[in-house]
Structures are given as structure tokens and as C-alpha cells.
Amino acid sequence: MVFGRRTVGSDRLEAALETHIQNELEEEGPVFLAVVAGLRELDRVARRLGFFSPTESYTRHVPWWPIIAVLGTYSAGKSTFLNDYLDYPLQLTGNQAVDDKFTVVCYGQDAQVRALPALALDADPRFPFYKISRELEASAPGEGERMDAYLQLKTCPSQVVRGRIFIDSPGFDADEQRTAVLRLTDHIVALSDLVLVFFDARHPEAGSMRDTLEHLVEKTIRRTDSSKFLYVLNHLDATAQDDNAEQVVAAWQRGLAQKGLTAGRFYHIYSRSAAAPIADPQVRARYEALREHDYGELQARIQQVRTAQAYRVVGTLERSANELERQLVPQLRAMLRGWRAGVVWRDGLLLGGGLVLLGLLAWFGLGELLLGLGGWSLGVAAVLAGYGHWQVRRRVRERIIAGLGRDRADQQVDNLVGAFQRSTCWYRSIFQTEPAAWNAQTRAIVARVRAEADRCVQQLNDIYTNPSGTAGRHTAPSAAPSEQSGK
């Protein structure tokens, strides 16, 4: 989507990475490969329209592996939960805020954990933060160069993380967060297949966290994918001394209900490794039973994340086709209408000005001189009129481009600018109503891709569902080792 200068080396690197992605996706089965083929069809349409540069691709903006995000308030036990689930001491833990950046966790074969800089995420299309520096810069000027203050990549040898990406977030307080952190939080939420939102049972006054709850809860329940959010009340062992778990849970449920969360699963857990001893055996047994039940359900949801990821990847194909045809093309049409109206209006002023000038010349007795020049005067007038028209086209085009503003990511603006420039080039008439290359052929390609997306959904349904109860169903996409072992 960037129409700037690129190097041959960077083009070759990205082409190699795209080939590597496709080779890895071959193990996921024909459904994912069909999605890749469909996205490349859309690439060709987007390049004809001018939305994409020759090296840009929809495939580089799809997280191809399941993503589980762990969000929550300060000291809510997010990192402890992740360490327990991975059965590996990956993250620092403590009662105070110990993580000051988002940590993207992926599998690494080395026994040693490696912490890599944010550049490892920003420059690699296989990760969900590809080119995130541009979005940070657009939302908060200067922050794009400070990626290392917000992001890091960690490798982990735990088999549980194979085939998945976990994202551990820093403690969240919406009142104190920088714009870049809020932007990253929204980015992670949008791309994740499962979002675990942690709260701390040791601080039961949910009402005092108004802005934090608004960002983590109120904004999410209005989403079409709100079912991927799981709300976890952690450190429940802190209520064992008073044996008032029900009252604490009720207080949090009332606080969340005030933000509109009146349905959905609310989990109650604590970490065995970090829990305080519970002296009363009856209370301990009751708390452990509650913890085991809810922790088991959380594990089951994480293990099933590949199903959600498969539908999310397939859904990307239809969403990309819809975005191209129903959002970008209509926006481009509106820009072209504004360009045509601006050019016609200014051409009219120039023509009117020329007629006034001729009238003044005739008034001062110079009309006969112009008539004597004959074809010379007409030729000069035509050249001046043509020059004026092309200047008007250029100035109106620049004015519309400048009016796009920067209230969204630069990448989206660059898309529209590239397509608009192609549709307003010198050989395009101002009276052509459709964008350049948007014709019956490209519309048919988009329609075919949309139909292919429906077919892929049906294939997934054949894999995961069986209403008739007949035997001989297809096998599901390959599962991560942790799913196969039932971790």
C-alpha cells in the first residue's frame, strides 16, 4: 500500500517471506490455500485500480496463526497465568507492574528464551504487527520510532505454544495510557481469535475503574465478534480468609453490568504456584473445585482456538472483497465526483473570464485586429484554454488529496491517493464516472472471490459439523501438538 521508493532487496525478501508462508500453510489443508489464491485475485484487482503497489498483497495483512491475547488491569495475574499455562517461567511476575510492553510469544526451538526487538515484528508479515510502526506514527506522531518501548517478541520452547501466538499485555489503566498503547490494544483485540480479560479479585471496587472498564468491556460488547472475549476474575484465593468469594464475584458482576456486560461467561481462578495457603480444608476444597472447573474451561477454549482461527481466516477473504467493492471503490467514486465538479466549475470561470476579455478587447476596438490574425488567434486561445484546463485538473486533484486528512492510518490514505491519481491521469476524461479499471471484468473477479469465500465456509462446515450424523467426514486442519495431546 506504500507508493514510495522500494529496494530490490526488500522486494525479494518480502517475496521470499510470502512463499515461506504459503509453504507452511500447505500443512493446514486446501481451505487455507484457497483463501491465499482468492486474496491474490483481489491483489490483481487492487493493483489495476491503483490501490496497491506491485509488491503489496492482502496476504500480508492476515494473521495466519491462532492468536490468544491476555489483557487486563495491573497485577491481575496475566503473566502468571501465561507461565502456568505454558508450564514455563517465561514472564516476570509480581504484585507490582513488572511488564511495561506488549510481549508477543511464539515457539522457539532453542532451550534459551530470546527477547527480540520490535523490529522483528514490524518487518515480518508472518506476525500480526507487520508495519505497525506506520499506524503508531499516524495515531501519535513520533511514537512510530519508539516501537521498542511498546513491543517485543519472545521465543519459548514450550510445546504448548507451537502453532499459536500468545500476546501478554502490560497492566492496563485507561486513565494513564499513552495513545500508542491504546492503539496497540485495539489492534490486538481486532486481530485476536481469543481475548482473555483479567481482573483482580483483591480489588473488588469495579466502579472505581470506570475508564478501564469502558475500554476493556464497554467497547467490546458492541463488537460483532464479542463471543471471543472471556472475562476472568483472578486471585480468587485472596477471598478465602473471609470466605466471601460470592460477594466479591457479585461486586465485579455489578460493575461489569453497569458497562452493559449482562451475559457471557465469567471465570474465577487463581494460580496454584502463587496462591496463599488456605488453612480451612473445607474452604480449600471448595475453592480448588471452583478453580479446577473454571481453569479447565479456559484451557478448553484455548485448545479450540484453531476452529475460530480457521473461520476468521476464511472470513478475511469475504471481508477483503467487500471492503474493496463496497468501501474503497465508493470512496473513490465520491472523490472523482468532487474532482469533476471542481474542474467543471473552475473551467466555467476560466471560460467566462475569456469571454469577458474578448468583450473588453472588442470594446476598446481591438476586435478587428484579432479577426485579422485569424487562425493564429484561435490557436493561441486553444493553447491557453488547454493549459488552463490541465492546471485546473491538477490543482483540484491536489486539493482533494490534501483534504483526505490523517484521521486514519497513512496506509489507507495511500491506497486512495494511488487509485485517485490513476483515475485522474492525463488520458482520463473528467466525465468518466467509474474508477480506472473498475469494469465488468474486475467486478466479476470480486464476485467470484466472494463466492469462493462461501465455498470455503461450506468446506469448514463439512469439517467441523455433521448434522446428518453420517460417517466419513473430512479431517480438520492440522492441530497444534498441544491440541493433539489434550493439554
Q: What is the pLDDT of residues 324-376, one digit of tens each?
A: 999 999 999 999 999 999 888 887 777 766 655 555 555 555 555 555 545 45
Q: For the whole model, what pTM was predicted?
A: 0.77
- The pairing of beta strand 165-168 with beta strand 266-268: unpaired
Residue 98 has pLDDT above 60, yes or no: no
Position 24 pLDDT exceeds 60: no
457 exposed, middle or buried (CB, 10 Å; 0-12, 13-18, 19+)? middle
pLDDT at 95: 52
Tracing cell 485472596 back to the chain, one arrives at 238
Work out the angle at residue 120's Cα, subtended by the Cα atoms of residues 117 and 121, and round it to the nearest 5 degrees.
Answer: 105
The residue whose grid cell reads 481469543 is 194
- Over residues 289-308, the mean pLDDT reads 91
Label residue 4 exposed, middle or buried (CB < 10 Å: 0-12, 13-18, 19+): exposed
pLDDT tens digits, residue range 270-298?
888 788 788 888 888 988 998 999 999 99
Q: State the pairing for strand pair 102-107/194-200.
A: unpaired
Residue 141 confidence (pLDDT) = 77
Specify the CATH number for 63-303; select among 3.90.1720.10, 3.40.605.10, 3.40.50.300, 1.10.260.40. Answer: 3.40.50.300
Q: What is the pLDDT of residue 473?
A: 52
Residue type, 202: R
Backbone angles phi, psi at 142, to 5 degrees: 95, -20
- Which residue would you say has higher pLDDT here, 362 or 52? 52
Q: Between these two residues, 44 and 75, which has the higher pLDDT value?
A: 44
**pLDDT above 50 for 107:** yes
Which has more pLDDT, 67 or 14?
A: 67
- Residue ranges covered by each domain of the chain: 63-303, 327-444
Q: How confident is the model at residue 446 (pLDDT cuts 50, 70, 90)?
A: very high
Whole-number average pLDDT of the chain? 78
**pLDDT band for position 422 (cuts 50, 70, 90):** very high
Q: What is the pLDDT of residues 156-171, one digit of tens each?
A: 999 889 889 999 988 7
**Residue whose C-alpha is closest to residue 253's, from 263, 243, 241:** 263
Q: Which of 203-212, 451-460, 471-480 has the highest mean pLDDT?
A: 451-460
The mean per-residue pLDDT over the stretch 71-94 comes to 83
Mean pLDDT of the 384-398 span:
83
Q: What is the pLDDT of residue 9?
A: 41
